[in-house]
Structure formats: structure tokens, C-alpha cells
């Protein structure tokens, strides 16, 4: 430096700087180091920054006044600096030679200012609104200029006037630049910010604002004033949208897949054609892990952004270790006497400054990590959704809907959680190494003792973590089983009620729940141990280290400096040591998820060419040549040697028995099946057998993303006979339809599905039995107006799968299928002439009665047959009727009392599904009290008290430590050692024991009791709710209560309470200690606490509402997804793939829209709360410096090291308050459903009917009326009728006449509005529901099976012997099917009985009825999905087996009830006719006209 500054200007003078009360820096130091620092920074950052600007161009910004000023000031600065330079040259010419520094510094500064000015303009052109790089540069300039500024003022006389003036110019310009840099430029032209109605302020936020997250404040204030709603949320940043994220990931994934394919090809080319070798090669190939690596795709897509976060983390790790060093200097400062005070104050402010910097850096890092996590989740969900639309059926079978939804929810979430802590993987070891290095410096080799304890704790913690993980998996399994069972219970709740089976299922659920709780209890024990280990770890480490340090060598003295610096280092160690095992186990979990997602994304996709969707040129026909199709490559083919040609515009009917492959043929034509050989060609519209309805308005369901054309739309409605239904529905065609079309009857669903097909206007129509679910006259209408030769579809190619014989004469061709093959094909006449399978099929049905008489006449039958069959119009059709008539009917009833309804606008319709209420505002104290009540009030108080004691013990041990370190000053170190160590250890052990006791009491006992109690109440409440409750509450919402909310009560709330209590007591103690040591501290605490309380209220209000919005917007993603999976064949058939992908993306973005502010709110809070913590550190240090005369070093160390810790606990406390508030809502939500209005009691003790009741089976209605819900019209009005035991009654009537309602009344699913029903002299309204329902039997319209064994489905209470069960199966014609199964009665039925055909499920329901064999049987249109053969079996069984019982049949196939004792005709809820069938026909009333429609009379 001498060369640069010359001999007169020394670089460093100790007396002038450190050891004086008025310190100043020498001029040489000022000119070199202070001037060059900012320049070095700017030149170092410049290349990276220029590269960044080149990559990110946001469009240019118009030149503003601010920008002009910045540029002008920059140029002025350059002029000022070079004025100095030229002045030096001028002096040189005058003969005053100055040292070289006077040339170098102005030159460097001037060039740097030019660079800065260049950057200002470049940023403007690149659309940077606020520059962090330049802000830091100007900040450094000002900081470095303050020292010369001060020394220039302190100068007694001015020698060098020009330099003096230029410096002041320089200083003021730099300050102005800094001030200007704090403000933002306008957004660039053409940016999205301008067009967006509610843009996220982050994009336009300045550097300071985004470092401190100040831009979020507006939302925090809004959320505090009133609960946030969806419209208050900012739009998602462009870079986080699905539109950007998903393609980014998929692009990388496709590259990976291509790479893997190339690799496989290379391997394959080497092999010879010898078959065995190829086999070997193939098997090797599987073992070679050259699958496409999904991990690599993820890293390529999201790595770079994530690395920025990692850089911040590295910086933060280094800053962390500055404070313990400063603490050491502070403590040594308080020991010294006669040193200048400004040292202490500088140290205090430095501590504050490093802590503050650390806060900013840490939260930047978190922000990057969380955003990466969020992006990964968006991309994963998008990728999985896109894949789910195109996977083959074989692949679909290997992963159920539930599993795939899990991939989206659980596994994607795991990735998101992991990314936030992934950096700990390298950061934790780094922190540990640094901490150990500083500790070694401090205490020497004794540290190893402490480290040994830590290392011993690691396996202990790891074992506990492993066990806990295992328990968690086990608990998840129980939970899944429980939820699956609950799902079935809720889906089949009507059946459970009708059969009075609730108790059996309730016990099953409770048994699973008990196992779940046992596992939870075990993991709570482990949790208590690990909490104890984790909390006592730093203490144990400190104890062993200090004890070893003191006893190893007599000269080792434990003074305050060593003790408290070591303590603060140990505290730093705590976090990485605890996090490391967690991160590792989390990585293990995520790697499992990774495998699952990779497996799913690698599934085979449907070959887009195997389906005839592409419009081919030869549009004349649809042909299949030699088709052989299978559901999965490895399965045997289901359809073989299929040859068919459907000429354009013809109508082909496909007939055959149940399970002969009719629906499979349709799937094959759609390209849903694996094509083994053969080919197909021709564009399609598809109507599946079980209609797929979206949760949208009726109109949207029909349009299915096609543009609306009024005329076409109305003709479609007319043809599908939907116009009448629209009048009945509450909102017309704008009625919202519940999930799975719950508020439409089966017939309506089927007709909507037909309307959708008709509207889509395709070339080929594949109709899979659309007529089975509608009434006879409706099916006739649809056939005539839509499908038949005169219908709207004439001229289109139509393939109709049907069971109805009546339409066959009118079709062009008939194809008969037997066991997966085409047995015959031809027109109606041809097939009759062939006298093959088809003639046989017809003969069985149409001619039962005639055949005996005419057997003799032999072949003369045919003409007669023709006549007969045409007269049979519509006999064979039936109705698979409404799941919930109740709901569809209330529109009908309202119309009567609101005549001017036509004027109402359609959107004022009544919503069927009540919107889920997201609670708003603060959680009421009542809810906390509820929870306390469930835990037990006395216990709660004891638990709080124990937390206090444990915290006191912890503090006590540290106070003791500070006393111990003060032994140094009184020289009593040696004699006191054993006593000091002993007491210190005792206090620590007391703390650990209290903690353990507390955890066990709290987690393993009381909180689990609360969990058990709430679940039992919830289950009881839901099972006792009346049927109407289930119709207005979607299953998903109830399941949510049983899964998510209960999960919160099981595990989240106890965790939250535990951490909250610990941090609360800890913070309280810190503040007490600081105040006790320096009473001045109390003055500062008050404003800090007010600020703290204030930030906390703002945060909690906003974050709680954001969490609620997030969870409300989350379920639509999954429900849309499962809806898509169930309907993916329809979506593909109509080619609506992209529209659905867009819908899903929109839903994900909606969800992230509320998630993103949630992340930011945590950062916002963190920065503010930690600022308070840093202030506490600052004041603790300042007061320690101020009162250094009367404080000993031990106490200073104690108070400052505690203050350093307090930030963490303040932060946790707010977090936990907020978490607790969001989770405690679960208690409220569960409580809401535990207190639903219940139906009548299940058993009434004093009114129990005799066990053998009813003996005769007489049923009597007296003036009976009923309505569905309060405030709706009557559905049945004043029915009075008397049925004698053993009568067979048929109930008929048009749709909506009240037929089903009548049967529901017998079971009291609907309670009477007036009048009463008596069965064998017992009023049914007075006895318990179970007593009543267990004595009646119903065969419901929709066969519901539960997953479990077949035996359980027939007899859940195990009342009957196996013999009885087999007998029932024999009578219900299932004997052959069941005895062919290997498992026999233990045959596992899948969810909803999916592995049995619809017909077989119906027969199982019949078997149930046969088993119960009560005196009264009700048949509710039980014959919808069955071919005529099975139908006859059922009818004959009922005739023989239930001969002496009273039977009520709701019939749509009138021929089934023609031989009944009497027929009841209902019309608009009243009895229209009631007599024997013969009399009714002769009366020529309603019944006659219905019979005529069905072609039973002339």
C-alpha cells in the first residue's frame, strides 16, 4: 500500500482507530478499500447479470422522468469522478506530484459509474422494473462514503477545496441514486400485468418490497378486515401456470422416453433371431434399469430455478455462524475494563444487522423452494391427468381410480413437501461441520464427548423414525380400509336402511377404527420418546461437554464466554441434527412415490389408430374383418373372429344373452380394447350402458363443449323426450346435476346421454342398450323419433345393442352374439327363416303362452309369430329408475304454488347440492371448549401446568450455568465442580422426565380419547341421519369429514398443541429473564409485543382463510379427475380430450391461486416476526453494554444467548396458532355432522312388536299423505287402501306418479304427513325403525353390493347357516355361477360389485330377499338391466317361493303383473284405479291405455 499511497499517508493507524473514543479511518484506507469495494462488487456481478438480462426479456419500458433523472445523475457522477482525475493531472503540471492512488481511484470510480449508467438503460430496454443489483451497488456506495463524509466534517480546516467540493457532490448524487432506486418503474409495454384484472403485485414489486415481501401487505390487511373470498385472490403468475409448467415437464419426460427407447433398440439389435435368446434378452432387458428416468426429467425441468434457492441457503448457513462469534466478542467486551463504549454498541448493531440479513436470505431461499414445490405439484398433476386419459384398459386395471387419485393427491404432495427441505441434505452436514470447527476452537477436544452423545442419539432417533414410519404406513392402511368401507356405506346407505343393516356395518367400521387408534397410540409412545430425545439433546451434549472439559484438566475453567458461545453453537447444531434423519426418510418416501408416478406415466397408451374416430375417406360403411379383441394383452380374447359390415345409414341391432360380449363389441369399435388382429374403420358418438353424467348443468351435459344452436338443441330434447322432464326440474336445462347424475332418474340419465350423442352429430352411433332404462312409452317415442327408420338419425350408421324384441322387425340388420362370437347376422326375416339361435331366442320370449297350443302345427307358426310380435310393441322395456326421485320431484311440486314461475330467470334455480360452507372469521372459543371437553377439563389444566414446570426446569438449568461461570471471578472453581455438575445434571433430568410424562399424558392418552370420542359420535350421527340428508349432501363431503378432518383430530391437533405450549412457555421465560436482568427491557417489550400481536392477528386471519379457500378449491381437482376416469371412454369417443385437459388445468391453477398467497403469507410473517426477534437481540445486547458495570459476564451471556433463540420460538408460536386455528375447525366440522337431525329411533323398547309379527301380512293405508321435505308439496295424497295377506299387488303409473314413494313409506324412509299405515294391526309409525325394516324385504331397483365376500353381502349378521345360503342361491339361479368359482361363498366382490354383471348383481339381491323370507315383499322395478330370460327366472322364483306372502311390485313391463290379484294405478299421487287386471282392462281407463301402448290389448 505504501507504493500506492506514498509514505505520508499510512494505511492503518491503530491509535487513531480502535483505541480512542473518537475513532476515524486513515485517508489511504478511505481512498483504497472504501472506494473500491462497490466497484469490485459491480464488476463481479456484471457478467452474470448481463447473461440473465439477455435470457429474460420482458419487453421495454417507456422512458420516464425517473429514468431520465437516474441516467443524468449517473453521467454527473462520472463527470464528478473524472473532475478529480483531471485535477490530479492539473496538479502534476503545476509540479505537485500526488501519490498514484489519486489517479487510480477516480479512474476506477468513473468507469464504474459509466457501467452503472449503461445498466440503468439496459434494464429499461429489458423491462426490469426494479433492480436489485444496482440497489445493492448504490447502497454499498453510500455506506462506504459515510466514513469519509464524517471525517471531512471532523477536519478542523479545509486544505484541498476542490476535492472537498467534488466529494460532497459525489455523496449527494449517490444518496439520490439510492433513493430513486427504491422506487419502481412502470410495467413494460404489452405485459400481461396490463391486461389482467387482478394481477399479482409481485410482478411489479420493487427490490426492497420483494425482499421483505412488503407487496403482500395489501392482502394481509384485506384479509384482516373481512374474510377473503376467491375474487380477492390474485391471478397466478404466468410462470407458475399449468400452461407453462406441464409442457415443460412433459417435454423433458418425452426426451427421456425417447432416449430409453433408443437404448432398448440398440440392445435389441445385437440379439440373434433365435427365440430362446430373444427371451433371455427380454428378461435381461427388464433387469437393466434403462427405464426412462422420471427423476432426470424433473431435475432438468425444475433444477435451475431450485438452484437459485440453494445459493441463498449456502449464504444463510455461513451468516448463521457470525452471531456466536459476535456473542463471544460481546462477552469478552463486558469483562474488559477501560475499553471505549462504542465497541459494545457496534457489536450490538452488528448482531442485529447479521440477524436481519440472515432473515432476509433465509426467507428468499424458502420462497424459491416453495415455489419450486408448487410448480412440481402442478406439473405432476397435469402429467398424471393427461396420462390417465390415454392409458389402456389393462393399465387401468392395474391401478384403480382411488390409486390414481392418490398419485395426484398424496404423491404429488410428497414431492412438494420434499422440495422445501431438500437443501438440508447438503446444508445440514455443512452446518454440523462448521459448528464443530468453532466448538473445537472454543473448548478443544472435550467437544468430542458432546459429539459422541449426539452421534449416539442419531441411531436412536433413526430407529424411532423408522418405527414411526412403519406405524404410519400401517395406520394409513387401516385408514384407507376404513374410508373405503365408509365410501361404500355412503353409496349404499339406502340399501343399508332398507335392510336395517346399519349396526353390522357400524361395528365393522369401529373395529377398523380401533386398530387404527392402537397404532396411533403406539406411535404416540414413540413420539414422546423422540420428543424427549430431541429436546434434551442439546442439554445432554452441553452437560457431557462441560463436565468433561472441567474434569479433564484442572486448568480448564468454564467461564461465561466459553459456556454461552458453546451453548449457542449447540443450539445451531440442534436443527440440522434433527432435520437430517427427517429429510432422509422423506427422500425414501418420495422415491417410492417417484417409482409409482414413473410406473404410471410409463403405462401403455391406447393406440390412437385402433379406433375409428378418424374420419376416413371410405365413409360408406363400418367394417370389421377377422376381429379378435381382448381387454389386456395377456388375457384370453373376449371377442374372436368378428366379421361385420354395417352399410352407411343402416341400423344394426345386436342381441344376445347377458354376458355374451355385446358391450365389449361396442368398446372394441371405440378402440378401447386391445386389437389382437383384424381392422376397423369409420367417426362416432357413443351412448354407454350406464350413462356417464358430469357434475355440470343439464345443458352442458348435452352440449358437451359443442357450440349451442337453439333450434338443433330443441329438436334433440324433443326427440329424446326430455322436454317434459325439463318442466319438472327446478331450473329447467340450467339445473345443476349432482355427481354421477344423482338427481336424475336412471331413465333421465340415459336420455341425457342419448341427447349428447345426437347433438354431437357424428357419422356412426354406437348405442349400448339405451332403451333398457326408460318406460315403455318413452322407449317407443325415442325409437320412433330418434333411432328408428323414421327417426332423426336416419341416414346415419347406427349400432344398437338391445334386449327389446319389439323393435327388431324395424331394424335393417340383426346380429346375434353368443359367447364372444357372431353366431348369425341378417335381416329379421332371414334370421327367422334360418331357424337358428335367433329364432330360438325369440321363441323363448314372445311365445311362452302360445307354444303349448301350437306345438302340433309346427312351421305354420311364423306368420302368426309376426303378428304377435308386432303387437308386442314395447312390452320388453322397463325402467331402471331414479336413485332419488325425491329430488327430481320437488320441481314438479313447486310449480303449483308459484304460477308466475315462467318469469323467473333460469339462474335463480334452487341448487340441489348445498354449497359446502367454508367457515369464515375467527374460530369460536366454543370450539376449543368442545375439544377441551373431549380431552377432559381437569386433564387439560394438569397438562398446561406440567408444560410450565418443564419450561421452568429448562430455564433453571441455564441460570445455574450462569452462576457456575461466575465462579471464575471469585476463584472458587475447583472445590465447586462436583456440586455444579451434579445440580446441572439433575435439573436437566427433571426437565426430560417432565417432558416425557407430559407427552404421554397429552398424546397417548387424552388426545386419543378425544379422537375416539369424536369419530364415534360422527359415525353414529351420519348413520342415524334420515335419507333426505344423503340426497342433499355429496358423498365426497362426508368422506372428507371421515378422512381429512378426523386425520386432523388424530394427529395434527395434538402436534400443534404440543409445540404451541412449548414455544409459549419458552418465549414467556425468555422475556422474563431479559426483564429480570435489565429492567429497562420492559420498556421495549411493550411496543414489541403490541407489534407482534398485531402482525399475528393480520397473519392468522388471512392465512386461515387462505387455507380454507385452498382446501375448498382442492377437492374439485380430484372429483373432476375421478369423474374423468370413469367417463374416459365417452370423452375419447367424442374426441373431447383437450377440452378436459384444459378444464383440469384450470382447476389446478384455481387451487394454486389460493396456495401461492398462503406460501407468501408465511414468508411475510417470517420476515416481520424475525425482525421483532432481532430487535429483542439488539436491545438485550444494548442494555447489556449500557449496564456492563453492574452485570457479570455470565448474565450477559445468558440474556443475549436466550434472545438469539427467541426468534425461532416467536415464529413457531404464530405458525402454530394459525395451524391450530385451521385444524381445530375440523372439530367444528365433525361436530356439525355428529349433530344432524336424526331419523326415528331404531328400536322403541315399550312398543316392540311380537317376534313373529307380521303373521298374515295385511297392509292398510288410511288417508295416507307424504311429502319429501318440509315445504314441498305432497307426493302422495290421501291414499286409502286395504291389502289382505298373500295378495299380489302390481303398482303402475306414469313417471312421477309416486310409485317408488309408496314403497319408501312402508319402510318409513319417508315419514307420514298425515294418516297412517298399519301392518297386521300394528301402526308402523310407533315401532322402532329396525323392528319394522327387518320384517319387510325389498328388491331395490339398483342392485347394491358391498366389497367383501359374497356371503357377507347376503347375510352380514351371520344369522343363517351355509345350507340356507346355498338354497337361496339355488332358487335365485346363481348356484351354478357360484359353485364354479374357486372361492365359492367366500368369493370376493369388488367395490360396488363391479366384478359381477348387472344382471348377476340383481340376482344376488333376489337371493338376499329369499334368505330373509319375510311376509311382505316389495319389488321395485327390479328387472331393468336383465335380459328377458333372467327376468323370467326371477318372476317364476317369486311366484313359487313367495306364494303365501304379500307382494307389491312396481312394474313397467305390464306383462309381469297381468296375473296379479289386483293392480293399483297411481296418478299424480292419488289412487286412480284399483281392481283386478281383467276388470281394469274392461274399464278402458289409464291401465287400458298403458296396456295398449305396450301392445297387450288391441
* pLDDT tens profile 224-237: 998 888 888 998 88
Cα angle: 696, vertex 698, 702; to 5 degrees: 100
* pLDDT (tens digit per residue) in 905-946: 333 344 555 555 555 666 778 888 888 888 888 888 888 888
Alpha carbon 707 to chain centroid distance? 32
- CB 539, CB 988: distance < 8 Å: yes
- CB 1172, CB 946: distance < 8 Å: no
For the chain, helix, strand, coil in percent to 5 are 65, 10, 25
Q: How far apart are alpha carbons 769 and 689 in whole angstroms?
A: 6
Q: How far apart are alpha carbons 1305 and 1431 in whole angstroms?
A: 26
318-327, 619-628, 653-662, 1037-1046: which is most confident: 318-327
Does pLDDT of 1335 surpass 60?
Answer: yes
Alpha carbon 1053 to chain centroid distance? 19
Helix (H) or strand (E) holding 1318: strand 1312-1319
Residue 681: pLDDT band by 50, 70, 90 thresholds?
low
Does pLDDT of 608 surpass 90?
Answer: no
Cα angle: 1313, vertex 1314, 1316; to 5 degrees: 115
Residue 867: pLDDT band by 50, 70, 90 thresholds?
very low
Report percent pLDDT > 90 for the chain. 14
pLDDT at 849: 33
Joined together, the cell numbers standing for residue 1046 give 378426523
pLDDT at 619: 53
The stretch 211-219 carries a mean pLDDT of 91
Does pLDDT of 758 surpass 90?
Answer: no
* pLDDT (tens digit per residue) in 1442-1489: 888 888 888 777 777 888 888 988 888 888 888 888 888 888 888 888
- CB 1046, CB 1230: distance < 8 Å: yes
- CB 407, CB 596: distance < 8 Å: yes
DSSP state of 744: S
Q: How far apart are alpha carbons 919 and 78 in whole angstroms?
A: 61
Q: What is the spatial order of strands in the sheet that 1446-1450 belongs to?
A: 1336-1339, 1416-1420, 1446-1450, 1288-1292, 1462-1467, 1470-1475
Q: How far apart are alpha carbons 1354 and 1113 in whole angstroms?
A: 40
Does pLDDT of 425 surpass 70?
Answer: yes
Residue 353: pLDDT band by 50, 70, 90 thresholds?
very high
Joined together, the cell numbers standing for residue 1014 give 369424536
Looking at per-residue pLDDT, the higher value among 896 and 790 belongs to 790
pLDDT at 875: 33
In this structure, the strands spanning 797-801 and 764-768 are: parallel
Nearest to 713 by CA among 727, 705, 703: 703
Q: How far apart are alpha carbons 1453 and 1451 in whole angstroms?
A: 6
Does pLDDT of 741 surpass 60?
Answer: yes
Distances, alpha carbon 1174 to alpha carbons 323, 342, 688, 1074, 1180, in Å: 11, 20, 66, 14, 10
Q: How far apart are alpha carbons 31 and 100 in whole angstroms?
A: 11
Q: How far apart are alpha carbons 1179 and 1171 in whole angstroms?
A: 12
Nearest to 1357 by CA among 510, 505, 504: 504
Looking at per-residue pLDDT, the higher value among 1024 and 1205 belongs to 1024
Nearest to 1341 by CA among 924, 800, 884: 884
The stretch 373-390 carries a mean pLDDT of 91
Residue 1294: pLDDT band by 50, 70, 90 thresholds?
confident
- CB 521, CB 1003: distance < 8 Å: no
* pTM, to two decimals: 0.77
Instruction: Write down the residue that cell numbers 302390481 correspond to.
Output: 1290
Length of the chain: 1498
- The least confident of 287-301, 765-779, 865-879 is 865-879
- The least confident of 27-36, 975-984, 1176-1185 is 975-984
Residue 1370: pLDDT band by 50, 70, 90 thresholds?
confident
Q: How many Cβ atoms from other residues are within 10 Å of residue 696's Cβ?
A: 14
Amino acid at each position: 500500500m505504501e507504493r500506492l499511497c506514498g509514505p505520508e499517508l499510512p494505511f492503518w493507524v491503530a491509535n487513531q482507530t480502535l483505541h480512542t473514543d473518537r475513532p476515524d479511518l486513515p485517508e489511504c484506507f478511505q481512498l483504497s478499500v472504501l472506494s473500491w469495494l462497490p466497484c469490485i462488487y459491480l464488476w463481479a456481478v456484471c457478467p452474470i447479470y448481463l447473461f440473465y438480462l439477455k435470457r429474460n426479456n420482458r419487453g421495454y419500458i417507456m422512458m420516464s422522468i425517473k429514468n431520465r433523472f437516474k441516467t443524468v445523475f449517473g453521467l454527473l457522477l462520472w463527470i464528478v469522478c473524472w473532475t478529480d482525475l483531471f485535477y490530479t493531472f492539473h496538479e502534476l503540471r503545476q509540479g505537485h506530484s500526488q501519490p498514484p492512488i489519486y489517479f487510480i481511484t477516480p479512474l476506477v470510480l468513473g468507469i464504474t459509474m459509466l457501467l452503472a449508467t449503461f445498466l440503468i438503460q439496459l434494464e429499461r430496454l429489458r423491462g426490469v422494473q426494479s433492480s436489485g443489483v444496482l440497489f445493492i451497488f448504490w447502497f454499498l456506495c453510500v455506506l462506504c462514503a459515510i466514513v469519509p463524509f464524517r471525517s471531512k466534517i471532523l477536519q478542523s480546516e479545509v486544505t484541498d477545496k476542490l476535492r472537498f467540493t467534488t466529494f460532497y457532490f459525489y455523496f449527494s448524487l449517490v444518496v439520490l441514486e439510492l433513493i430513486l432506486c427504491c422506487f419502481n418503474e412502470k410495467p413494460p409495454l404489452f405485459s400481461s400485468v396490463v391486461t389482467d384484472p387482478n394481477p399479482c403485485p409481485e410482478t411489479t414489486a420493487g427490490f426492497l418490497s420483494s425482499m421483505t415481501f412488503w407487496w403482500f401487505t395489501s392482502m394481509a390487511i384485506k384479509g384482516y378486515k373481512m374474510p377473503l373470498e376467491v375474487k380477492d385472490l390474485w391471478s397466478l403468475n404466468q410462470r407458475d401456470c399449468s400452461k407453462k409448467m406441464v409442457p415443460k415437464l412433459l417435454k423433458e419426460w418425452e426426451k427421456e422416453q425417447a432416449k430409453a427407447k433408443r437404448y432398448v433398440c440398440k440392445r435389441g439389435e445385437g440379439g440373434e433371431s433365435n427365440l430362446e435368446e430373444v427371451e433371455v434378452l427380454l428378461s435381461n432387458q427388464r433387469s437393466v434399469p434403462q427405464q426412462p428416468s422420471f427423476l432426470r426429467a424433473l431435475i432438468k425441468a425444475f433444477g435451475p430455478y431450485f438452484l437459485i434457492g440453494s445459493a441463498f441457503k449456502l449464504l444463510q448457513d455461513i451468516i448463521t455462524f457470525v452471531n456466536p462469534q459476535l456473542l463471544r466478542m460481546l462477552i469478552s467486551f463486558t469483562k474488559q475494563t477501560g475499553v471505549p463504549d462504542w465497541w459494545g454498541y457496534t457489536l450490538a448493531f452488528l448482531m442485529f444487522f447479521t440477524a436481519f440479513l440472515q432473515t432476509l436470505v433465509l426467507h428468499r431461499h424458502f420462497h424459491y423452494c416453495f415455489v419450486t414445490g408448487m410448480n412440481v405439484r402442478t406439473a405432476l398433476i397435469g402429467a398424471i391427468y393427461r396420462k390417465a386419459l390415454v392409458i389402456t384398459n389393462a393399465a387401468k386395471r392395474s391401478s384403480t381410480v382411488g390409486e390414481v387419485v392418490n398419485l395426484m393427491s398424496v404423491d404429488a404432495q410428497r414431492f412438494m413437501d420434499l422440495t422445501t427441505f431438500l437443501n438440508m441434505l447438503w446444508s445440514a452436514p455443512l452446518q454440523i461441520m462448521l459448528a464443530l470447527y468453532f466448538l473445537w476452537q472454543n473448548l478443544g477436544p472435550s467437544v468430542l464427548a458432546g459429539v459422541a452423545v449426539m452421534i449416539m442419539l442419531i441411531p436412536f432417533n433413526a430407529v424411532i423414525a423408522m418405527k414411526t414410519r412403519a406405524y404410519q404406513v400401517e395406520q394409513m392402511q387401516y385408514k384407507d380400509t376404513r374410508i373405503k368401507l365408509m365410501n361404500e356405506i355412503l353409496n349404499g346407505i339406502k340399501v343399508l336402511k332398507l335392510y336395517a343393516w346399519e349396526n353390522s356395518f357400524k361395528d365393522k367400521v369401529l373395529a377398523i377404527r380401533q386398530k387404527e387408534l392402537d397404532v396411533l397410540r403406539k406411535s404416540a409412545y414413540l413420539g414422546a420418546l423422540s420428543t424427549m430425545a430431541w429436546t434434551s439433546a442439546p442439554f445432554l451434549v452441553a452437560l457431557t461437554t462441560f463436565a468433561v472439559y472441567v474434569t479433564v484438566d484442572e486448568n480448564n475453567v468454564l467461564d461465561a464466554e466459553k459456556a454461552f458461545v458453546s451453548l449457542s453453537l449447540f443450539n445451531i447444531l440442534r436443527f440440522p441434527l434433527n432435520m437430517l434423519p427427517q429429510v432422509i426418510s422423506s427422500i425414501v418416501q418420495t422415491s417410492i412415490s417417484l417409482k409409482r408416478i414413473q410406473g404410471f406415466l410409463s403405462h401403455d397408451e391406447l393406440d390412437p389408430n385402433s379406433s375409428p374416430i378418424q374420419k376416413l375417406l371410405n365413409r360408406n360403411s363400418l367394417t370389421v374383418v377377422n376381429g379378435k379383441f381382448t381387454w389386456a394383452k395377456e388375457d384370453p380374447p373376449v371377442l374372436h373372429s368378428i366379421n361385420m359390415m354395417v352399410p352407411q345409414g343402416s341400423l344394426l341391432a345386436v342381441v344376445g344373452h347377458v354376458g355374451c360380449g355385446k358391450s365389449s363389441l361396442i368398446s372394441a369399435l371405440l378402440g378401447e380394447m386391445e386389437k389382437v388382429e383384424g381392422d376397423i374403420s369409420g367417426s362416432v358418438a357413443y351412448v354407454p350402458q350406464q350413462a356417464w353424467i358430469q357434475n355440470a348443468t343439464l345443458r352442458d351435459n348435452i352440449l358437451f363443449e359443442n357450440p349451442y344452436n337453439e333450434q338443433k338443441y330443441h329438436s334433440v330434447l324433443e326427440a329424446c323426450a326430455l322436454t317434459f322432464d325439463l318442466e319438472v326440474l327446478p331450473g329447467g336445462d340450467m339445473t345443476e346435476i349432482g355427481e354421477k347424475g344423482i338427481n336424475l332418474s336412471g331413465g333421465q340419465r340415459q336420455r341425457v346421454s342419448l341427447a349428447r350423442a345426437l347433438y354431437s352429430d357424428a357419422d356412426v352411433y354406437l348405442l349400448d342398450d339405451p332403451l333398457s332404462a326408460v318406460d315403455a312409452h318413452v322407449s317407443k317415442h325415442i325409437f320412433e323419433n330418434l333411432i328408428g327408420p323414421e327417426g332423426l338419425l336416419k341416414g346415419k350408421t347406427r349400432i344398437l345393442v338391445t334386449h327389446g324384441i319389439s323393435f327388431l322387425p324395424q331394424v335393417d340388420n340383426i346380429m346375434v352374439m353368443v359367447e364372444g362370437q357372431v353366431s348369425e347376422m341378417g335381416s329379421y326375416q332371414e334370421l327367422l327363416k334360418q331357424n337358428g339361435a335367433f329364432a330360438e331366442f325369440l321363441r323363448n320370449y314372445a311365445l311362452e303362452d302360445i307354444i303349448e297350443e301350437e306345438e302340433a302345427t309346427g312351421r305354420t307358426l311364423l306368420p302368426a309369430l309376426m303378428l304377435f310380435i308386432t303387437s308386442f310393441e314395447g312390452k320388453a322395456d322397463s325402467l331402471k329408475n331414479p336413485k332419488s326421485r325425491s329430488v327430481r320431484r320437488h320441481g314438479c311440486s313447486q310449480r303449483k304454488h308459484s304460477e308466475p314461475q315462467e318469469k323467473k330467470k333460469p339462474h335463480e334455480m334452487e341448487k340441489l347440492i348445498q354449497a359446502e360452507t367454508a367457515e369464515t372469521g375467527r374460530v369460536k372459543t366454543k370450539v376449543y371448549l368442545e375439544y377441551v371437553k373431549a380431552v377432559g377439563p381437569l386433564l387439560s389444566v394438569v397438562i398446561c401446568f406440567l408444560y410450565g414446570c418443564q419450561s421452568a426446569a429448562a430455564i433453571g438449568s441455564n441460570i445455574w450455568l450462569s452462576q457456575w461461570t461466575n465462579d471464575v471471578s471469585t476463584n472458587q472453581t475447583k472445590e465447586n465442580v462436583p456440586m455444579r455438575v451434579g445440580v446441572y445434571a439433575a435439573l436437566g433430568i427433571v426437565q426430560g422426565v417432565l417432558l416425557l410424562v407430559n407427552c404421554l399424558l397429552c398424546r397417548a392418552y387424552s388426545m386419543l380419547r378425544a379422537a375416539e370420542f369424536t369419530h364415534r359420535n360422527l359415525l353414529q350421527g351420519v348413520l342415524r341421519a334420515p335419507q333426505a340428508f344423503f340426497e342433499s349432501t355429496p358423498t365426497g363431503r362426508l368422506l372428507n369429514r371421515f378422512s381429512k378432518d378426523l386425520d386432523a383430530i388424530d394427529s395434527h391437533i395434538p402436534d400443534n398443541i404440543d409445540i404451541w405450549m412449548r414455544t409459549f412457555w419458552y418465549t414467556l421465560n425468555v422475556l422474563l429473564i431479559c426483564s429480570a436482568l435489565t429492567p429497562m427491557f420492559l420498556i421495549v417489550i411493550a411496543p414489541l409485543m403490541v407489534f407482534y400481536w398485531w402482525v399475528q392477528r393480520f397473519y392468522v386471519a388471512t392465512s386461515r382463510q387462505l387455507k380454507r379457500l385452498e382446501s375448498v378449491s382442492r377437492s374439485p381437482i380430484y372429483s373432476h379427475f375421478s369423474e374423468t376416469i370413469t367417463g374416459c371412454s365417452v370423452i375419447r369417443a367424442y374426441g373431447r380430450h383437450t377440452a378436459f385437459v384444459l378444464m383440469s388445468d384450470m382447476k389446478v391453477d384455481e387451487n394454486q391461486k389460493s396456495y401461492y398467497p398462503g406460501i407468501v403469507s408465511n414468508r411475510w410473517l417470517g420476515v416481520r416476526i424475525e425482525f421483532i426477534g432481532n430487535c429483542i437481540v439488539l436491545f438485550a445486547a444494548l442494555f447489556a453494554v449500557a449496564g456492563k458495570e453492574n452485570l457479570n459476564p455470565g448474565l450477559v451471556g445468558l440474556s443475549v444467548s436466550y434472545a438469539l433463540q427467541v426468534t425461532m420460538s416467536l415464529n413457531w408460536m404464530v405458525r402454530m396458532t394459525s395451524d391450530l386455528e385451521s385444524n381445530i375447525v375440523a372439530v367444528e366440522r365433525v361436530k356439525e355432522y355428529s349433530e344432524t337431525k336424526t331419523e326415528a329411533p331404531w328400536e322403541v323398547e315399550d312398543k316392540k312388536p311380537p317376534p313373529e309379527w307380521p303373521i298374515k301380512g295385511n297392509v292398510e293405508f288410511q288417508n295416507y299423505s307424504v311429502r319429501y321435505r318440509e315445504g314441498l308439496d305432497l307426493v302422495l295424497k290421501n291414499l286409502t287402501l286395504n291389502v289382505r295377506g298373500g295378495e299380489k299387488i302390481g303398482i303402475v303409473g306414469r313417471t312421477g306418479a309416486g310409485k317408488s314413494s309408496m314403497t319408501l313409506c312402508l319402510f318409513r324412509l319417508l315419514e307420514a304427513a298425515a294418516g297412517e299405515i298399519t301392518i297386521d294391526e300394528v301402526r308402523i309409525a310407533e315401532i322402532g325403525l329396525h323392528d319394522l325394516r327387518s320384517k319387510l324385504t325389498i328388491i331395490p331397483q339398483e342392485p347394491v353390493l358391498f366389497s367383501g365376500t359374497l356371503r357377507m353381502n347376503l347375510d352380514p349378521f351371520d344369522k343363517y347357516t351355509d345350507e340356507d345360503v346355498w338354497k337361496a342361491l339355488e332358487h335365485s339361479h346363481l348356484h351354478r355361477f357360484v359353485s364354479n368359482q374357486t372361492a365359492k361363498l367366500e368369493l370376493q366382490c369388488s367395490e360396488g360389485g363391479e366384478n359381477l354383471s348387472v344382471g348377476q348383481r340383481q340376482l344376488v339381491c333376489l337371493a338376499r330377499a329369499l334368505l330373509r323370507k319375510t311376509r311382505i315383499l316389495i319389488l321395485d322395478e327390479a328387472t331393468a338391466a336383465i335380459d328377458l330370460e333372467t327376468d323370467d327366472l326371477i318372476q317364476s322364483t317369486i311366484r313359487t317361493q313367495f306364494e303365501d306372502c304379500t307382494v307389491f311390485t312396481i312394474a313397467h313391463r305390464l306383462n309381469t303383473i297381468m296375473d296379479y290379484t289386483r293392480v293399483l294405478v297411481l296418478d299424480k299421487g292419488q289412487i286412480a284405479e284399483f281392481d283386478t287386471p281383467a276388470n281394469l282392462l274392461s274399464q278402458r281407463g289409464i291401465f287400458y291405455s298403458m296396456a295398449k301402448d305396450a301392445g297387450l290389448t288391441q
